[in-house]
Structure 1
Amino acid sequence: MGSQRVPGLVCAAVGAAALTAVAARNAAAMKATAQRPNSTAVPVPRFQHAPRELAHITAARSLNRGSALLALSVLADSAMEHYRGSFDNSAMYTPLVSSALSLLAGLHGGGDPRSHRHTLRHAVYLTAAIAGVSGTAFHVYNVTKRPGGWSWNNLFHAAPIGAPMALLLSGALGAAAERLRDEPAVDPQLFGMPAGRALGLLVTAGLAGTIAEVGLLHFRGSFQNPVMYAPVMLPPVAAALLAQASLGAPCERWFTRLWLRITAALGFVGVGFHARGIARNQGGWRNWSQNLFNGPPLPAPPGFSALALAGLAALRLRETEK
């Protein structure tokens, strides 16, 4: 086995271990909810959902965690890319500050079982969403001001239009989580519709935008590795199934859940392949200070994982609605 493949395999193993840890933590949380202290333990079916009166809080905490993972991806990616751009514009510090605060808010919200919104977290999420919209406008301007305006060359090499949208999604998921906490336990509503449906459609839109961005960048890379087709073939299926579950009648959707879990795994495994791509550059990881900037972006793939985890939360909530 070549030494250059080792970092990629290590990152893939770490991703698999992270998925296992998340699954174990969720199983432990469900078991703790089902069994009260100082009471006789009652066997709980393995795949039983959280009790109806706690379902929206469980979903809110999952959304907080998904928002945190997206914020972490934005923080790492924007720090590298804006550092490479020498922070030529002082506004380039904005996504670093906003994503860092959103990350902290998500970590805090993921462990908060309270049934009412946290004012500071909510403000942080709204600020992140505004920063994402503003960043998208700046990146669009960066494309249009170049010679040739809207062209494939500028879309490939100018500031990526889709990158700030990840910060918008992080803020939107977090804000939705905080609003969901204020809803009643029975038939919670968001944006004038059942909460599970609203969240499912939000995640579907986020997946569609992420797929478009990844498709553009992998097209720029000429799909030189067949594995590069995976993020433009598997997540669209998950997005379509989630949209169907959101718009259709509430019922058990095991196939949709399966594809969302595949998409979540794809994000973590993608880090391993990106690490392998970095290792294949001249000097490999020994020349990390240059190859981290020239190779495929390490922080990008977990965006799929974050959205898939949020989609699973929306699906669980949707299955309890009337």
Structure 2
Amino acid sequence: MDIVATRLIAGGAAMLASSVLADSGLEHYRGSFANPTMVLPLGSAALSIAVNARRSGKPESGGSEAPTISHVASTAVGLIGLGFHVYNVTKRPGGLTFTNLFYGAPVGAPASLVLSGMLGGIADRLSKGEEELGPIGLTSGRAVGGVVSVGILGTVGEAALLHFRGAYHDPFMWLPVTLPPIAAISLGRDVIEDTVRPATTVLLAATAVVGILGVGFHAYGVARNMGGFRNWRQNILAGPPIPAPPAFTGLAIAGLGALLLMKARR
């Protein structure tokens, strides 16, 4: 059971890193990589994908310190990115306004890299048979569940802001801001009460599907722009971010891993 859970947590971290790599690659390309540090999330996300994808397929630890370095780097780069994105928004005329939040650097986007680093680090510790990370117990699954619950709520906030910018012109735009928060709250309740409800599993599975569906909806949004994908160089940058929704999928997969750990310890 622990092996499957470790694979799910590592797989969720890899999915998050994949979303970051593609999304930050597009967004920072649009920004012409004006700041040299804009290449950092691409490198750390690529390394995180390699490490976590390997761990999801082979959870047994090989004793190398490379995974630990990768997870620490992802977390650090994500935190630095949060600072840069907040600065990018607040330095604009008017400071912290909805207009600047809409069209400045996406404030919450780098947090996905932080979450990838944290989840990858937990999966790495579990694969080594370690039961604790400092004062935090890992094998109970509650720590992972807490991280995933908070991460889903943060991702919902980012989606809500950008979908508000789009005036929720499509009813399906309400889906990622209604179902995932219910899943996050249900998971958080299970973590607090140290129990596993069948509804939480169903909600997390549905949240994973929402992330996959979001890719299709965002691709459709790009195709609706003048020229569609024939004018992909412009429309992919101007349309809804296609790589963003899988962040929900990655977090939901890691959440399912947390539930397996919680069940195994009961």
Question: TM-score per shorter chain, which class?
Answer: over 0.9
1:173 is matched with which residue: 74, 94, 119?
A: 119
Matched, 1:286 2:253: no
Q: Check whether the contact 2:225–2:235 (CA below 8 A) recurs between aligned residues.
A: yes
Taking the TM superposition and a 5 Å limit, the aligned residue runs for 1:76-95 are 76-95=22-41
Per-residue deviation, 1:116: 6.7
Q: How many residues align?
A: 264
The separation in 2 between residues aligned to 1:179 and 1:65, in whole angstroms, is: 15
- Please give the root-mean-square deviation of Cα atoms over the aligned residues, in Å: 1.4
Partner of 1:305: 249
2:178 is matched with which residue: 233, 245, 249?
A: 233
Per-residue deviation, 1:238: 0.4
The separation in 2 between residues aligned to 1:207 and 1:117, in whole angstroms, is: 31
Matched, 1:75 2:21: yes
2:191 is matched with which residue: 246, 253, 256?
A: 246
Per-residue deviation, 1:112: 1.6
The separation in 1 between residues aligned to 2:207 and 2:242, in whole angstroms, is: 17
Per-residue deviation, 1:113: 3.2
Per-residue deviation, 1:115: 5.1
Q: Check whether the contact 2:126–2:138 (CA below 8 A) recurs between aligned residues.
A: no
Partner of 1:267: 211
CA gap 1:238/1:64 in 2 versus in 1, 3 angstroms: same
Matched, 1:200 2:145: yes
Per-residue deviation, 1:121: 0.9
Per-residue deviation, 1:125: 0.9
What TM-score results when the alignment is normalised by the length of structure 1?
0.79
Code of the aligned partner of 1:310: A
Code of the aligned partner of 1:280: R
Code of the aligned partner of 1:311: G
Q: Check whether the contact 1:77–1:299 (CA below 8 A) recurs between aligned residues.
A: yes
1:314 is matched with which residue: 240, 258, 261?
A: 258
The separation in 2 between residues aligned to 1:220 and 1:117, in whole angstroms, is: 47
Per-residue deviation, 1:181: 2.3
Q: Check whether the contact 1:211–1:231 (CA below 8 A) recurs between aligned residues.
A: yes
Taking the TM superposition and a 5 Å limit, the aligned residue runs for 1:1-12 are none
Partner of 2:87: 141
Q: Check whether the contact 1:223–1:229 (CA below 8 A) recurs between aligned residues.
A: yes
Per-residue deviation, 1:194: 5.3
CA gap 1:194/1:130 in 2 versus in 1, 3 angstroms: closer
Deviations 1:172-230 (A, max 9, x none): 1101111222336xxx4454335311110010011011000000000011101010000
Deviations 1:57-113 (A, max 9, x none): 322221111111111110001111111111111011111111111111111111223
Code of the aligned partner of 2:156: I
Partner of 2:47: 101
Matched, 1:210 2:184: no
Q: Check whether the contact 1:116–1:181 (CA below 8 A) recurs between aligned residues.
A: no
User: 3-state SS of the aligned residue for 2:110?
Assistant: helix
Q: Check whether the contact 1:284–1:291 (CA below 8 A) recurs between aligned residues.
A: yes
Code of the aligned partner of 1:112: K
- Structure 1 gap segments, 5+ residues each: 1-49
Partner of 2:168: 223
The separation in 2 between residues aligned to 1:203 and 1:64, in whole angstroms, is: 13
Partner of 1:38: none
Matched, 1:295 2:239: yes
Q: Check whether the contact 1:116–1:178 (CA below 8 A) recurs between aligned residues.
A: no
The separation in 2 between residues aligned to 1:310 and 1:256, in whole angstroms, is: 13
Larger Rg: 1
The separation in 1 between residues aligned to 2:246 and 2:63, in whole angstroms, is: 27
Work out the percentage of aligned pairs sharing the same amino acid. 48
Q: Check whether the contact 2:61–2:124 (CA below 8 A) recurs between aligned residues.
A: no
1:255 is matched with which residue: 194, 199, 209?
A: 199
User: 3-state SS of the aligned residue for 2:105?
Assistant: coil
Runs (4+) off by over 2 Å: 115-118, 181-184, 188-195
Q: Check whether the contact 1:117–1:181 (CA below 8 A) recurs between aligned residues.
A: no
